[in-house]
Structure 1
Amino acid sequence: MQGAEKIRKRLVHIYGQEKGNQAFKRIYPILESFPAKAKVKKEYFSEKDIVLITYGDSLQSADASPLETLCLFAVKQLKNRFSAIHILPFYPYSSDDGFSVIDFFTVNPELGTWEDIQQIGNHFELMFDFVVNHISSKSEWFSRYLAEEKGFEDLAIEADPSMDLSGVTRPRSLPLLTEYQKRSGEPVWVWTTFSADQIDLNFNSINVLEKMVKVLLHYIDNGARMIRMDAIAYLWKQIGTSCIHLPATHEVVKLFRDIFDLTAPDVINLTETNVPHDENISYFGNGKDEAQMVYNFTLPPLLFYTFVKGNTSILSGWVKKLVLASSNNTFFNFTASHDGIGVRPLEGILPKGEIDDLIDIVKKNGGQVSCKQNADGSESPYELNITYVDAMWRNMGKPDPYHAERFLASQSIMLCLPGVPAIYIHSLLGSRNWEEGFMKTGRARTINREKLNIQDVLTALDDDGSFRSRVFSPYMSLIAIRRLQPAFHPNALFEVLDVHEKVFVLKRSGKGQTVFSITNVTEYPVRLAWMDDDQQVMKDLVNGQVMHTEEVLLAPYQYRWLVPKQ
């Protein structure tokens, strides 16, 4: 099917025959006028792909703008290790650390300029956030909605506050509707899924769709290789439903994919849906028509649980069930991001008591717990707010001798799983909880979003004895090794080997290479009888050691990447 007709049919599917054709007449000329980019990549991803996740101002300097500082650090420290940088929302905003966008088209001047973004793009591929569900109440768009200007009159979703909306799934424990006043003096209640400052956009409106398609093309035009569909699961609203994962939401995601395929076929559509695994992977569609990548949201909390319990059984069982819709899909593997560690993805995997154990450890280690509102009006834990480094800490009232090693062991597992690894800057730099920041803002997520002085960071990285250096240096070595192994291609074959409950063993095979990733998740030494059919001489890619594999020895939290010795 030709691109134009495919998009027309998609719009008709979303809006119905008459309205869909109207939408096509407004949307398609915009696509036609866009300078389409040619397809240059043979495949969407490879074993060399590793993404850094960072705010535009995570690193700060008195001598340069935050984006200039990020660029200088990345070029000097991260080149030939990371392939892409996800710069979290760098637009002007009014709240939620960037996710309440005032203007989708501009760079926050406190961070830098589009030229700074493009300078980073000269060295790394770029990922941008498409904050598609909502816009700031301080935005010009919303002001024009309140003024009832033509083209903006249906921007927001209005609802009667007397209606029963208790069945709507919420990621927050805040009122769903917020009252505003139009310029005429008329009060209006609008849908605000995330906060009173974040006005949900009405995608049932062709006006809204047209505006957001222009935003999407603007990001592609400014160099985005990957587009993160923020909070996409909540996009379409239909009263009387849960308003999450609705069929129309999936159709809009497919529409965006159609637009990418037509205008920029190398661009990757990444959906961000912090929900149980089966719901999450539904955004792969049929493998070719929706997202190319989805966040592997189950991994961070399940890996945390694995190291808390010192037992790999549940992790191994879960990894065995990982399935990709096609070779055009893969997982976006991560253990930490700007948000906390999601709890919902553990639903159906761990009983409530085990999740409560994780919550207790997070609190003991100085973290916080965020809750969500359920359909019945009750609240339940939604997110554990803590740096992943401190989630891996054993707070025993005395120094933890294995803190760095335990954290790095968790990252070794993440790096070996099928998918593209993504590493939050505070994990790479070994950051601890920013308790001062949390006390200052009162927001739980601040604990994982410290702004760092670049000179302090560089000084710590140059000190071999500092905790930052003890994390950063071996982490960077692991990344360098990983990028050279064809068996770590995101879609290479994988097999979990059940050898010992204290050891996670993953066999990866592809392009003529086999790698055995072996990780001890405990503070005790472990001896393994070799788990493959043939005992052979192996080389450990991590430390260069050559060994006979009748027996494999693992020190506490040791990880080995073994390949047959040539």
Structure 2
Amino acid sequence: MVTDDTTGRVSLDPSTQQSFDLRWEHYLPDLWIGLSKVYGDRADETLQRICAILLRRCAERPDDLKRLDEARLLEPDWLQQETMIGYTIYTDHFSGTLNGITDHLDHLSEMGVRYLHLMPILQPRQGINDGGYAVADHHSIRADLGTMDDLANLTAVLRAHGISLAIDLTVNHVAAEHEWAQLAREGQQKYRDYFHILSTHDEVNAWEKNLPETFPEFSRGNFTWDDDCQGWVWTTFNDFQWDLNWANPDVFCEFLDVMCVLANRGVEVFRLDAIAFIWKTFGTTCQNLPQVHDITQSLRQAMRVVAPSVAFAAATLSGPDDLVAYFGRGRHWGKTCEVSYHNTLMVQLWNALATRDVSLMETTLSRIPDKPSTATWASYIRCHDDIEWTIDDAREIGLDPVSHRRFLSDFYSGHAPGSFARGLIFHNNPVTGESRISGSLASLAGLELALEADDPAEVDAAIARIVMLQTAVLGYGGVPLIWMGDEVGILNGEWQHDPDHADDNRWVHRPLMDWSMVEQAHAEPHSIPGRIWSGVRRAINARRRSPEFHASVETVILPSPNQKVMMWGRPHPQGRMIELYNVSEHEVWFPMEALRSELADVVTEVLSGFEYDLTPMNLRLGPYQCLWLSDRSQD
């Protein structure tokens, strides 16, 4: 990099300059249209600032990452491949530090992990910080986890093992202790304009009429009075998380620069947390508004200029109608995020397990519009967050949505008759009586209760549920995300004794990684961890050798002739696959006619490798049994 001292312009070497110019020319139209829609008269000035940021950060990009950029341009489907297996961890609970992750590469490699998501690692505020989502410094790593140099070293080691690193970037808000917020409190108008600060309570009341409450149990309302600012600061989530004003192009430029810096440290995927909330329009819920997608498109195109190997993942708890929009609709089609987290799939899997009925799943998932063929879902059965019961389609099958959401919370908190679950109520809404659920996969699936009762049959059933759910996530297509410890059946953990976590029972499903269970899984295949590990590994290995799971192909929700059996299709050009999942503890006889209409008479069951003859009248499915039936030639 060479800087002209008279103009301040950055000069690139000829090869890098050529790549920059070609990408700038290619992505400029899609970058510009988003800016012009959002920033109007300020778009030209903002574009010049963006170009300067990109030139500076492009000049700083390490050679090995430039090579990765070129490789990814030749392999644009890298996130869509059937070999893409994801794993999500809290660094301190998994390995203590960033450097410690490399001590567990054997475990990650044995699972086939190629996408490692680290939960928030940027420096948060001290004390309660919403699990790290109240970021106080975007340019520092949490001190107990390591440094920015440690991050760069880790990403280099992971790349050498074929693993891409994903991190969270919270785009809706920063901690009240962030430098921008501190300068706003000091009265600097430039930084007051980074936030939404209202002058009067009447203004607050006018906005609140249309705004839902995210955490009504302990964080009422969406605004917090700040004495220093002498105003009401917009705080959607908590009083210590200040919402940013994305209508201000300064905020756009700040985040673009942060992304470039982190990308130059080797981050390959940005999970854009709380992205649905970043635009505020009076008289709306201020969620999922069109400007969100304009901003995302412009950020995405800008990043493609300097780091085309980097991808965006949208993290939103939006309902089915809004999920696909984060891949891009209309003029945004395929130009925003490469990945969107499939919250609806998670909810529907838990619903099917509780009701032993796939009707609601069929109704809801079949209505989700097709995504761009270049995009991919992130599918999961559990994540760091609570489970919110987004099931508005319940009326379509004769259920009252409010009553059914209450039933699901009762079932998974262990209060409904016949429940096998051991979850915790999270944020009961005193107005609606509805609530959400915390709990680990194993505890929600019945393993904790079965062990308490010392009931071998229930232990068997719980293990079967765990393996079935994980197999379904692996079979849906896209990037399947395995939550830390779920591969060996870690139960709910203790969280109450940590003062920073005592008021947030989501920490019950964020326990320390139990490496003794991993050792037991390897040494004792007939142990509980060993049986879960074996079942999950079997599905991972089957998926990795099956091109049907390439994410360019959509999963088709087929009408099942038996309400206890999920029936999914994967219509790949190399061969069609039908997946069957018995969501009940009962033996089911499934009519072969439903399969013969889709497949050849003789197929391969991919999970076991056995051949299946589909000419008899019925197929027996054991409790929670999964079958992946493929008519692709296995030669």
Asked if Structure 1 and Structure 2 have the same fold, meaning a TM-score greater than 0.5 normalized by the shorter chain, the answer is yes
Shifted more, 219-228 versus 260-269: the winner is: 260-269
1:122 maps to 2:160: yes
* CA spacing shift, 1:424–1:221, aligned 2, 3 Å: same
In the TM superposition, what is the alpha-carbon distance from 1:284 to its structure 2 partner? 2.1
Q: Which runs of 5+ in 2 are unaligned?
A: 1-24, 59-65, 415-420
- The counterpart of 2:444, out of the listed 391, 396, 402, is 391
Shifted more, 228-237 versus 37-46: the winner is: 37-46
Structure-to-structure mapping, 1:374-389, within 5 angstroms: 378-379=431-432, 381=434, 383-389=436-442
Structure-to-structure mapping, 1:350-429, within 5 angstroms: 351-364=401-414, 365-371=421-427, 378-379=431-432, 381=434, 383-393=436-446, 395=449, 398=453, 399=455, 400=458, 401-429=460-488
1:346 maps to 2:391: yes
1:532 maps to 2:596: yes
Please tell me whether the aligned partners of residues 155 and 164 of structure 2 are also in contact (alpha carbons under 8 angstroms).
Answer: no
Shifted more, 349-358 versus 126-135: the winner is: 349-358
Shifted more, 382-391 versus 251-260: the winner is: 382-391
Please tell me whether the aligned partners of residues 333 and 422 of structure 1 are also in contact (alpha carbons under 8 angstroms).
Answer: yes
* CA spacing shift, 1:522–1:325, aligned 2, 3 Å: closer
- The counterpart of 2:49, out of the listed 26, 36, 45, is 26
Residue type of the partner of 1:491? Answer: S
For the residues of structure 1 that align with 2:262 and 2:435, how far apart are their CA atoms? Answer: 31
For the residues of structure 1 that align with 2:327 and 2:309, how far apart are their CA atoms? Answer: 17
* CA spacing shift, 1:371–1:554, aligned 2, 3 Å: same
For the residues of structure 2 that align with 1:54 and 1:217, how far apart are their CA atoms? Answer: 23
Please tell me whether the aligned partners of residues 371 and 379 of structure 1 are also in contact (alpha carbons under 8 angstroms).
Answer: no
The residue that corresponds to 2:98 in the other structure is 67
The residue that corresponds to 1:558 in the other structure is 625
Please tell me whether the aligned partners of residues 387 and 431 of structure 1 are also in contact (alpha carbons under 8 angstroms).
Answer: yes
For the residues of structure 1 that align with 2:600 and 2:630, how far apart are their CA atoms? Answer: 12
Shifted more, 358-367 versus 525-534: the winner is: 525-534
For the residues of structure 2 that align with 1:547 and 1:245, how far apart are their CA atoms? Answer: 46
Please tell me whether the aligned partners of residues 340 and 448 of structure 1 are also in contact (alpha carbons under 8 angstroms).
Answer: no
For the residues of structure 1 that align with 2:101 and 2:34, how far apart are their CA atoms? Answer: 40
In the TM superposition, what is the alpha-carbon distance from 1:439 to its structure 2 partner? 5.8
> In the TM superposition, what whole-angstrom CA distance separates every residue of 1:304-348 from its partner, at most 9, and x where no partner exists?
1111121222223333334323211232111111112222x3123
Q: Which runs of 5+ in 1 are unaligned?
A: none
* CA spacing shift, 1:275–1:371, aligned 2, 3 Å: farther
1:513 maps to 2:579: no
For the residues of structure 1 that align with 2:99 and 2:311, how far apart are their CA atoms? Answer: 26
Structure with the higher fraction of residues in helix conformation: 2
SS at match of 1:148: coil
Structure-to-structure mapping, 1:126-525, within 5 angstroms: 126-149=165-188, 151-159=190-198, 160-163=200-203, 164=205, 165-166=207-208, 167-173=210-216, 174=219, 175-182=221-228, 187-286=230-329, 287-343=333-389, 345-349=390-394, 351-364=401-414, 365-371=421-427, 378-379=431-432, 381=434, 383-393=436-446, 395=449, 398=453, 399=455, 400=458, 401-434=460-493, 436-438=494-496, 440=498, 441-455=502-516, 457-459=518-520, 461-492=522-553, 494-495=555-556, 496-525=558-587
Shifted more, 79-88 versus 378-387: the winner is: 378-387
TM-score, normalization by structure 1: 0.91
The residue that corresponds to 2:14 in the other structure is none
For the residues of structure 1 that align with 2:334 and 2:467, how far apart are their CA atoms? Answer: 35
Tell me how many residue pairs correspond in the alignment: 553
Shifted more, 410-419 versus 312-321: the winner is: 312-321
SS at match of 2:486: helix
For the residues of structure 1 that align with 2:27 and 2:101, how far apart are their CA atoms? Answer: 38
Please tell me whether the aligned partners of residues 128 and 219 of structure 1 are also in contact (alpha carbons under 8 angstroms).
Answer: no
Please tell me whether the aligned partners of residues 57 and 70 of structure 1 are also in contact (alpha carbons under 8 angstroms).
Answer: no
In the TM superposition, what is the alpha-carbon distance from 1:453 to its structure 2 partner? 4.5
* CA spacing shift, 1:526–1:262, aligned 2, 3 Å: same
In the TM superposition, what is the alpha-carbon distance from 1:506 to its structure 2 partner? 1.9
Shifted more, 186-195 versus 90-99: the winner is: 186-195
Structure-to-structure mapping, 1:95-114, within 5 angstroms: 95-112=129-146, 113-114=150-151
In the TM superposition, what is the alpha-carbon distance from 1:465 to its structure 2 partner? 4.1
- The counterpart of 1:47, out of the listed 70, 82, 88, is 82
* CA spacing shift, 1:552–1:68, aligned 2, 3 Å: farther
Please tell me whether the aligned partners of residues 152 and 207 of structure 1 are also in contact (alpha carbons under 8 angstroms).
Answer: no
Please tell me whether the aligned partners of residues 231 and 273 of structure 1 are also in contact (alpha carbons under 8 angstroms).
Answer: yes
Please tell me whether the aligned partners of residues 517 and 529 of structure 2 are also in contact (alpha carbons under 8 angstroms).
Answer: no
In the TM superposition, what is the alpha-carbon distance from 1:372 to its structure 2 partner? 7.8
Residue type of the partner of 1:67? Answer: L
